[in-house]
Amino acid sequence: MRARQTLDLMENLRTSLSRPFVQSYLGTFLDDVKEKRGGMSYTGTTKQVGEFFAMQQRRTLEVATPYFLAADMLPVVEYAAKGLDGLEYFTHDLFPSDHGFLLFDGGHMVTDRRGKKMVDSALVWSRTVAQYDGTSYTSPGTQVTVYSDSADPRDEVTAEIRRDGGDAYVESLGRLQMTHVMFLADDARVGPATVSDVDIRDEYGQPVQADNSARILMAFLLMLRQTITSTSREQVSPKQAQRYAKKRLPSYVTVVQMRRIEGIHRAEGESKIEWANRWLVTGHWRHQPVGPAYPGAIEEQPGEFYVRLWIAPYLKGPDGAPLKPSTRKVIALTR
């Protein structure tokens, strides 16, 4: 079911990207973003920009590795994203594949630059050699496009578009609709939890604090390297595989679940100590020194290697010992 859900949405997106109406919409969207916020730059007319971007996305989807993040595990990634210090940076080897499609089962709720509630439902990423910023080429990196699900009633922006343009207009744009595009250069910092635009203010005259979409992606990528994470490949039936093959889509999806498997060895830095009491420990990131051969290790100083290690919420202390009460929120990991 999860594989079909993911692959069907990939197919739906590719189909909608081939429509001239959607390409025109994308061109206008990208021009508007560039004018207002200095977004990614493309040369040509609005029509040419829309056609080129749509072609880029279709080609990416033809070679993208599909991922599915289970709904009951999404809160763990969201919680981990809040714990980032903002100094983490993107690298090429941080991504599990050069091209990918990630579906958030249930969607990730965010606030946009206007203060509207949106639901990020899917991400498409593609490795690029360099990015033209209008005057020169920047360093290599990854282009990431964020999509919302027009069928999600919680999305205030889609509801606004539906109210102004009608159901037929929304449906003509396809099930997944682009809400944001960003270029993450290699070594670019993930940044703070929120960003603001001084020209857009709330009812109290304060700049609207919009969620930084790069953080949920960074948390997902880092969590893939943690012992808490389990990944499995889910195949579709042979008959369905034939249909997807004709559409240039794979026959499987990598399902990502955030949980510690019973009996798994602790990662380097996860110590085991006996205590006199038991208490609940909230999940948090640790800046862990490791050896040079440790997966994902980064040499921050000559001969000094570190990795971002996620310490999952857990009950600490020996069985049978008194439990110290805690008022702090704990994110539960479930199978």
**149 plus 105 within the same structural domain:** yes
**14 plus 87 within the same structural domain:** yes
Task: List C-alpha distances in Å: 192 to 62, 92, 97, 119, 150.
Answer: 33, 21, 25, 20, 28
299 vs 16 pLDDT, higher one: 16
Confidence at residue 44, expressed as pLDDT on a 0 to 100 scale = 82
Q: Are 60 and 111 in contact (CB under 8 A)?
A: no
**What is the arithmetic mean of pLDDT over 34-40?**
61
Confidence at residue 279, expressed as pLDDT on a 0 to 100 scale = 56
217 vs 44 pLDDT, higher one: 217
Any domain includes 251? no
**276 plus 157 within the same structural domain:** no
pLDDT at 28 over 80: yes
Task: List C-alpha distances in Å: 272 to 16, 268, 285, 316.
Answer: 52, 11, 17, 10
Confidence at residue 237, expressed as pLDDT on a 0 to 100 scale = 93
**70 plus 158 within the same structural domain:** yes
Angle, vertex CA 90, rays to CA 89 and CA 92, nearest 5: 145
**204 plus 64 within the same structural domain:** yes
**What is the arithmetic mean of pLDDT over 303-323?**
68
Give 248-284 pLDDT, tens digit per residue.
Answer: 899 999 999 855 444 444 555 544 444 555 555 667 7
Confidence at residue 70, expressed as pLDDT on a 0 to 100 scale = 87
Q: Are 185 and 141 in contact (CB under 8 A)?
A: yes
Any domain includes 257? no
Any domain includes 248? no
Q: Which amino acid is at 319?
A: D
**231 plus 323 within the same structural domain:** no
Token pair, residue 294, equals 């440790």
Give 82-138 pLDDT, tens digit per residue.
Answer: 889 888 889 888 899 999 999 999 999 998 888 889 999 999 999 987 656 566 666
Give 194-241 pLDDT, tens digit per residue.
Answer: 887 666 666 666 777 889 989 999 999 988 887 777 889 999 999 999
Any domain includes 246? no
Fill in the DSSP letter of residue 93: G
Fill in the DSSP letter of residue 27: H
Domain that holds residue 48: 2-239
Number of structural domains found in the chain: 2
Confidence at residue 319, expressed as pLDDT on a 0 to 100 scale = 56
Please name the residue that has the structure tokens 């599915």: 68
pLDDT at 143 over 60: yes
**100 plus 195 within the same structural domain:** yes
Any domain includes 249? no
Any domain includes 245? no
**112 plus 168 within the same structural domain:** yes
